[in-house]
Structures are given as structure tokens and as C-alpha cells.
Chains A and B, each alone.
Chain A
């Protein structure tokens, strides 16, 4: 906007947007606040909670003691990182081939891959559950990692493909003119330029795997349950539990909130399958 906007308008916009944004964010803020309150304080009226009660860290300790938060946390880490890395190993060659040696069918193959992401999980719940049960993969981290890799593979391939395609062909030609062999071209020019794209893809996929709440709930029990299932166990609580739920929730969502902050752009690209630039 080339015209000068009055400060008054800016302030007005800030107030409106800030209020609405605050309202959207409020539940998260409330989780943070309640996690530092005692259970008795946590159920009081909001103003009282804010200004008339003390702070404590006992909830975090209780949660860990009662239900071994760290075990679930490490499960989440393992399956998120594991499925992303596994996915990358399969996706990078595929995306590379499709981006740099395109064939007539390349676009169709890509579209088909994306379509597998749209299959509703309940459509395959029964056989997957039975297969996992019969092969001992039920409640195993490996099984879950493989499943999460498969459901996110289309997105990983798609995102890498779009990032690879953005590398200007002329720069690769320049490398060729400069005497680089194919290996040198990949090593010195292509990979460094692709690293930001690969990093973005990793980030987004860790987030998607961490928050996945269908297979993680149905295929796990005590052993491999990640944080999604851990929190679900609070759905039938005993006694007062707001503060503990808040503490547990905060610990479960904190890593992803931080990662999410860095990955807004990737979100648009990855989840709209490129339909919106």
C-alpha cells in the first residue's frame, strides 16, 4: 500500500486483530497457566485463577510419576523421526527422478501418489489391525513407524518434488559447462540448493506424525503409545485433574508449537498439494 495509513487505523486494526488472535490462542494460554496451578485452584473462576492463586510445579512431577510421561514422549520422538527419516530415504530418489528426468507419465504418477493420502483410514482399519495383530506388530513402535511413513510418504515426495523443480535448470547447466560430472553436479550444486527444501519437508512431517491421532490410538497400548494416546487416557479421569491434564498437555504440545512457528509456509505448500502458492 503506497498511501500512508494513519496510525489511528493501524491501532484500530491491531486492537481488533489482537483481540481475535488472543481469543484463538487463549485455550493454549490457559493450558500453560493451569499447568502451574493446584487442582483446587484450577477449577475456580478464571479471574480468581489468574489473580488469587499461587503457582506450583507439582503437576509436572505427578504426571511423570503417575503415567511415565517420558516413555510416551520418547515413543512420539521415535515414531515421528523414524517415519520421517524412513520416508526421506524412499522419497528423495523418487522425487529426484521425477523432477529431473520427467517422463510423460510423471504427473499421473504424482497425482496417484497424492490420491493415496485421501483414502479414509477406516477403509483399511480392519485389515491393518488384523495383520498387525497376527504378525505381532500391534503395540510396536516399528509397526507404527511404518504406518505413519506410508500415510505421509505422498506429502514428502510431493514437497521434495516441488522444491527440486524450483532449482533453475540453468544453474545445473552452468555446472556442467564448468566441467562438473554428474556426481559433482549433485554433490556441489544440487544438494546444497535443495537442503532448505529438505529441511522444510522434515519439519512439516515431524509435525504431522507427532499429531497423528488415528493409527496411534488404534494400534498401540501400553508399550508403544505415543503422546496422543497418553493424553487420551485422561478422558476417563479420577477426581480433580484439570491441572494435571494441563501439565500433560503442555508437555505434549510444546515441541510442536515451536516447530510449527517455523513451518508456516511449508504448511501451505504441503497440505494444499501445491494448489495454492
Chain B
């Protein structure tokens, strides 16, 4: 179908998308890069002098950066752990024969469609509030003191909230992958004498390996940018206890009005994300050829 005329037409049809995305990518990133080399604070009306890597130096050596980096690692790692393990378990469970599977599936998937600000506030107040929240009531009913989630483990609390939101995603992906497993393979292994654990370890898990990788990589990309949940619950506090890299950049940029520093932070965040993206690209690229 490809003649010269249709090729030119095709290029014309793709160009608006390409131009827009190019502009969206390049223009702001170049600006961020540029700002990161300036001393530029919206509150101090000085001349925005070029200061080289000074912003990066201060950003990376500030103790809040280390804290933020650690917190980001903990948050992403924690959510990944809960969602991948939980996702596999849920997928295995939902793959079994049962009554009302459709309804149960909907219940499991629903959290993903709740907007982050709602999730965060509902969990913080109606569930985790030590005095009035459900978890507090249940704890007291069972005879022991309530956990002050946001007081004692703010990052942990946020991890729980984010995990609740993303568990459905992992479950759905893994369930889809599980259901594509050839039943006959399992039956053959049963004839070969494999019990359930064997079948899970040697057949199901390897089949799921690719889906698990996809889940981990895609979730990581999105988890690195968790923002709303932190904003509406802890504002990164107390201190920097629940500040992640993303939130740190936000604080520097829009709360401290330090454009230079915030931009440096932004560049750091982009570099990190790119490293993850490279792996993801290879994985998807393999699939595009399929």
C-alpha cells in the first residue's frame, strides 16, 4: 500500500504529534537545564547570575537530599514489594473457579480508579486517625492501643496508601498474564508428577516473569513521581520523614521559590528516571516486534 504519495501523506499526518511532543520534551527540559545553572530565586530580585554546578552541589550535599533519596527508595521498594507479592497472590486466587468472580474482580480492581487525593485523605482520616479512624477503633476494641500511623511512620503510612492504589494494577496485569498460560502445560506437568508448589515454581512463575518485570518497571516509573498523596497528608513531614525526591524538588521550586535549586533537582530526577526507562524500552521494544 505504500506508494510515494501515501508516504508523504503519512509523514504529514504524523507531524503534528511529533512536533508537539518534541516541543513538550525539549523546550521545558532545556529551560530546566538552563535554570539549574543560575542563581535564580523568585523572591530575591537579583540578576540571576550563572553559577555553574553550584545548585547541584548544594542540592546533592544537603542532608534533605540524602533523606529524600532514601525515602524514595523505601517508598518505591515498599510499594513494589507489596504490589508484586500481593499481585501474584491475588492473581493466583482470582484464577481459580469460584462464584461471583466478576463482582470480586471489580472489588479488587476498584481502588485503582480512585483519585490519589481522595485515597490519601480517606486513609489518613477515616482509617489511620488514631482517635476517630476505623483502625484505631478496631485496635481499641481488641484491647491494644491504636497505631499513630502518620505520627510514628509517615512514610510507612504513605506506602500503604500508594500500595492500596496500585495493587489492582499489578493484579490485573498478572492475572491477564496468568490466564494466557496454556492449560495443557500445567496438565502435562501434573502427569509428570508435579504437585501444586512445583507447578507454581517451575511453570507459572517463569511464565509470569515477563509480566512481573513489566509491572515492576512501569510502576517504578510512576511511583518515582508520587506527589499528591504526600502533599495532602504530610507535606513531606515531619521534617523530611516523608519527603521523596519529587517532593523535595516541589518544595524547592514552588514553596521556597528557588528556581535554580529546584531546576537542578529536576534534572537529577530526570536522569534517574531515564535509567529506569532504558530498561523498560528494551522490554517493550521486544514486544513491538511480536
Contact = CB atoms under 8 A, between A and B. Distances in A.
Interface of A: 1, 5, 9-11, 13-14, 16-18, 20-22, 24-25, 27-28, 30-31, 34, 42-46, 90-91, 93-94, 96-98, 100-103, 107, 109-116, 118-131, 150, 153-154, 157, 207, 210-211, 213-214, 217-218, 227-229, 231-232, 234-235, 241-242, 245-246, 249, 252-253, 256-257, 259-261, 264, 267-268, 271-277
Given A102-B2, A268-B172, 10 more contacts: A93-B14, A101-B9, A115-B281, A120-B246, A123-B270, A153-B20, A217-B227, A228-B116, A242-B126, A274-B287
Nearest to A259: B113
A117 to B, nearest CB: 8
A24 B168 contact: yes
A118 B108 contact: no
Contact of B284 (A1, A20, A114, A153): A114
B177 A14 contact: no
A28 B7 contact: no
A126 B119 CA distance: 27
A34 B133 CA distance: 12
B1 A101 contact: yes
Nearest to B288: A107
Given A93-B14, A274-B284, A261 B270 contact: no
Contacts of B112: 260, 267
B125 A245 contact: yes
B85 interface: no
A32 B31 CA distance: 45
Nearest to A31: B122
A20 B108 contact: yes
A126 B266 CA distance: 8
A158 to B, nearest CB: 10
Interface of B: 1-2, 6-7, 9-11, 13-14, 16-18, 20-21, 24-25, 27-29, 31-32, 35, 90, 93-94, 96-101, 103-119, 121-123, 125-127, 131-132, 134, 137-138, 141, 164, 167-169, 172-173, 176-177, 180, 183, 210-211, 214-215, 218, 221, 224-225, 227-228, 231-233, 245-246, 249-250, 253-254, 259, 262-263, 265-267, 269-270, 272-274, 276-277, 280-281, 283-285, 287-289
A16 B218 contact: no
A252 B115 contact: yes
A220 B138 CA distance: 39
B159 to A, nearest CB: 16
B233 to A, nearest CB: 7
A259 B113 CA distance: 9
Contacts of B106: 261
A234 B126 CA distance: 13
A252 B103 CA distance: 22
A24 B273 contact: no
A45 B141 contact: yes
A127 B109 contact: no
A2 B127 CA distance: 44
Given A97-B11, A256-B113, A242 B259 contact: no
6 contacts: A20-B90, A97-B10, A101-B9, A130-B259, A150-B24, A277-B180
Contacts of A42: 126, 132
B122 A245 contact: yes
Contact of A275 (B1, B17, B31, B283): B283
Given A101-B1, A101-B2, A103-B7, A125 B17 contact: no
Nearest to A274: B287
Contacts of B99: 10-11, 14
Contacts of A214: 225, 227-228
Contact of A264 (B109, B125, B262): B109
- Pairs A-B, 6 closest by C-beta atoms: A213-B228, A260-B113, A124-B28, A127-B31, A93-B13, A97-B10
